[in-house]
Amino acid sequence: MRRWLAAAISVGAVLIGFVSRLNARQANAAQPSPRSGYVIAFDSHRNRVVLYGGIDSAQQRLSDTWTWDGRSWQQLNASGPGPRLDAYMTFDRKRRRVVLFGGMGEKQRMGDTWELDGEQWKLITTTGPAPRNLGAMAYDENRRCVVLFGGSGANRQRFGDTWEWNGKNWTRVNETGPEARGSHAMAYHAKRQTVILMGGYAEDFLGDLWEWNGQTWQQLPTPTAPPRLHFAMGYDRQRDRLVVFGGFGTEARIGDTWEWDGQNWQTFSANGPEARAEHDGVYFSDRGFFIFGGIIGQGMEVEDRTRVNDSWLWNGVAWKRMPE
């Protein structure tokens, strides 16, 4: 009898261990669905990437919130902004909040501002910049405010205005500087203590580089990476480099990697992510430049666009695909 009980307990323990490992694998397998036009930010207080929304392979606009801690994805049970495509998002380091503005909702462009406190979304205001999508935001650590530039409005209107968010109110601070545009990217450069803007689209593909010092925009004279839109850009704080990957070039989606050290641009031939556009990128503290998903291939028709959900990290030498 004792031997039978011991054997039963042993088998039970094995089964429990197997189920636990299976559940763990299933939990780790959970990740955002293939998509493009989402937004991400790095929450430096909680040391994780936050991803929101986008559009999936069935052309459904999404409203889910995900986090990635460097090992696995987790979906947050947090209702909030609703379906959004090509919104604006960054992390407010002072207030420890993810800030989301605008984007294309289910039927129209939005002009609302939301904050995520780590667990829940909260609507802060519906006043500020005109409703828009396809623009960019970055957090100015030196001046402790969020900076927003440009984007696209109704009837193909492009904006060239600069706004700042202090956690309570939006203030329009500049009407001159970069050409009005959409599909560009912005990142805060810690060493220069300025916000850097690159590329996008106006009447043509753009490859210019600008910096915002809190009062004026100044175009940087150094040649940039080739013109592009819908690309990923971030600032590697550890290596003091601006990193650019992919996007839509003058003829096709591209898969090139570039870095700017503040004076010169350098391109790399390292194998890595497939050419893509309509993805996003952000620096993950002490890990590298992180990108997710987007549209691969060169098909331009809606039915030919292949959306993916792969995750990659660039450490300055090589790209590494993260476990899915």
Q: What is the pLDDT at residue 324?
A: 57
How is residue 108 written in tokens?
């129209």
Tell me: the pLDDT tens digits for 38-58? Answer: 999 999 999 999 999 999 999
| Residue pair 177/160 in contact by the 8 Å Cβ criterion | yes
d(CA 293, CA 281): 10
| Concatenated DSSP letters of 73-142 | EEEE----S-S-BS-EEEEETTTTEEEEEEEE-SSSEEEEEEEE-SS-EEEEES-SSPS-BS-EEEEETT
Cβ atoms of 101 and 137 within 8 Å: the answer is yes
Mean per-residue pLDDT of the chain:
91
Q: How does pLDDT run across 130-156, given as a tens digit for each residue? A: 999 999 999 999 999 999 999 999 988
Is residue 211 within 8 Å of 220, Cβ to Cβ? yes
Compute φ and ψ for 317, nearest 5 degrees. Answer: -125, -45
**Residue 14 reports pLDDT greater than 80:** no
Q: Do 102 and 86 contact (CB within 8 A), yes or no? A: no
Cα–Cα distance list, 116 to 50, 64, 113, 261, 293 (Å): 10, 13, 10, 32, 22
Would you say residue 21 has pLDDT above 60?
Answer: no
Cα Rg of the chain (Å, integer) = 21
Structure tokens at 79: 């209702």
pLDDT of residue 29: 56
Residue from 237, 238, 193 nearest 211 by CA? 193
Alpha helices in the chain (DSSP H): 2-29
pLDDT in tens, 248-302: 999 999 999 999 999 999 999 889 999 999 999 999 999 999 999 999 998 777 7
> Rounded to whole angstroms, how far apart are CA atoms 67 and 311?
12
Which tokens sit at 289?
Answer: 């430049």
22: its two tokens: 């299976």
Strands (E), 175-236: 185-189, 194-201, 205-212, 217-219, 232-236
| pTM assigned to the model | 0.90
User: Residue 282's pLDDT is what?
Assistant: 98
pLDDT in tens, 217-257: 999 988 889 999 999 999 999 999 999 999 999 999 999 99
